[in-house]
Chains A and B, each alone.
Chain A
Amino acid sequence: MDDEHTANQAAVGLLAKDELSDAPKPVLEPKSRTPEGFVVHDVIMIGAGPASLAAAVYTTREDIETVIYEKGVIGGMAATTDWIDNYPGFPDGISGLELSDNLRRQAERFGARIELADVTNIERGDKHIKIVTTDGDQYARAVLIATGSDYKKLDVPGELTYYARGVHYCATCDGAFYRDKKIVVVGGGNSAVQEALFLTRYVTHIDLLVRSKLRASDILIHQLEKNDKITVHIGTTTDEIIGNGKFVEKVIGTDTLKDKKVEFITDGVFVMVGLLPNTQFLKGTKLQLDGTGFIKTDKDLQTDIKGVFAAGDVRSGATMQIASAVGEGATAALRIREYLES
């Protein structure tokens, strides 16, 4: 754990050093304009996670001018992940923050430009695609949507009331407030188990509430079994979060194996119960989504709107792995190149 901590500090150091650097970065210039005189970018990517940062490495190396819009964190969910052990090429693992920063620097090295603004709509015109952002309208010949996904809510009483006052969705952000305290983590997948293991650096004890069964990978389950700070409660639902008006005090659940109510006295609850696609901004478009809101694409990662591609966690059928997102990003970039040349 000390090694991880040191690596994270090193990652933050890298970020800070780079932020303060005055070294000029090459930025590719747009090559065309609309008849009204507005700049038309070769490609606009929405979301600066691993999929689009990887795609940008490929597009910029082909001299395809690339702008990436990000409303949240560069690196997306990967950046908020404490430690990544399953991304090939890093035999000792790498912190999510450091991997994200490496991806960003690699994309910028070849001329990608990252803008910190929110995209609220996209509209297909005859010749160009209009991208509506909080920094004004932009135009592009092609678009890559790689907005990723976000953690699902539990949708139980008390969850919204105590958000950020005991209810959290980001362990790497808010874990430090639980030094020497007792917490609950909800979920049984890789994210929940990994975040629980991360949080043991701060807390005295964790009750891990798993609705059905553990779905995390075996290596994480082995680490979980060896960790005496975590008690796993299999078959336990989370029904209500109760507080004193200011902060969380306990979680009420149901032990479905014994069919009885259970209570966990706690200082906080970290929720990691699955993912939802970040596609709310597409509601005004005709872009086809699947039943849970993920973007449908063809085998070339193109959506049903010509010139609009999708890659990574936001795509229907995605495996929710960073390695897959990076691979999809590279594929999308090559397909975008073909599209722009056609």
Chain B
Amino acid sequence: MPKNITIYTTNTCAYCGMVKKWLTIKGHTYEEVNLDASPERTQEALEVSGQLAVPVTVVTKQDDSKEVIVGYNLSKLAPAVA
């Protein structure tokens, strides 16, 4: 179980909704950074992922290591939050 999960999203991004939905189904809680509501954090999302895309999911594990997943990719999300 991860220590915490942060997701960078936008209002119109359908894939962002899917990541949130999947995490909720799997029983995980997360902090959401909505880039439409907080455009000043857009650069932060870019620096975290190196990509100009959302959703960006940052999984902080129990040992404080971080895993960054860009997009709605269950083959990467599932092991990252296990």
Q: Residues on A close to B: CB < 8 A?
A: 5, 8-9, 12, 15-16, 19-20, 71-75, 79-80, 82, 95-97, 100, 116-118, 134, 164-166, 168, 170, 172-179, 198, 247, 268
Contact = CB atoms under 8 A, between A and B. Distances in A.
Given A73-B15, A100-B14, A177 B52 contact: yes
A177 B53 contact: yes
Contacts of B25: 116
Given A174-B54, A177-B53, A82 B46 contact: no
Contacts of A164: 51-53, 70
B17 A97 contact: yes
B52 A82 contact: no
A170 B54 CA distance: 10
Given A165-B51, A172-B13, A176-B36, 16 more contacts: A12-B11, A15-B17, A16-B20, A72-B18, A73-B14, A73-B15, A74-B21, A134-B75, A172-B12, A172-B14, A173-B16, A175-B10, A176-B35, A176-B54, A177-B46, A247-B52
Interface in B25-65: 25, 35-36, 39, 42, 45-46, 50-54
A4 to B, nearest CB: 9
B24 A116 contact: no
B51 A173 contact: no
A179 B39 contact: yes
Interface residues of B, number: 29
B22 A165 contact: no
Contacts of A16: 20
Nearest to B17: A15
Contacts of A74: 18, 21
A173 B10 contact: yes
A341 B59 CA distance: 49
Given A116-B25, A164-B52, A166-B52, A82 B12 contact: yes
A176 B14 contact: no
A164 B72 CA distance: 14
A59 B46 CA distance: 44
B52 A8 contact: no
B22 A97 contact: no
B73 to A, nearest CB: 10
Instruction: Across the A-B interface, give the 3 residue pairs with the lowest CB-CB distance, nearest first.
Output: A79-B14, A172-B12, A177-B52
Contact of A176 (B17, B20, B39): B39
A211 B49 CA distance: 33
A15 B22 CA distance: 12
A74 B22 CA distance: 11
B18 to A, nearest CB: 5
Contacts of A268: 52
A250 B15 CA distance: 28
A176 B10 contact: yes
Contacts of A176: 10, 35-36, 39, 42, 54
A168 B39 contact: no
Nearest to A117: B74
B50 A165 contact: yes
Nearest to B37: A9
Contact of B20 (A19, A95, A118, A247): A19
B24 A173 contact: no
Contacts of B75: 134
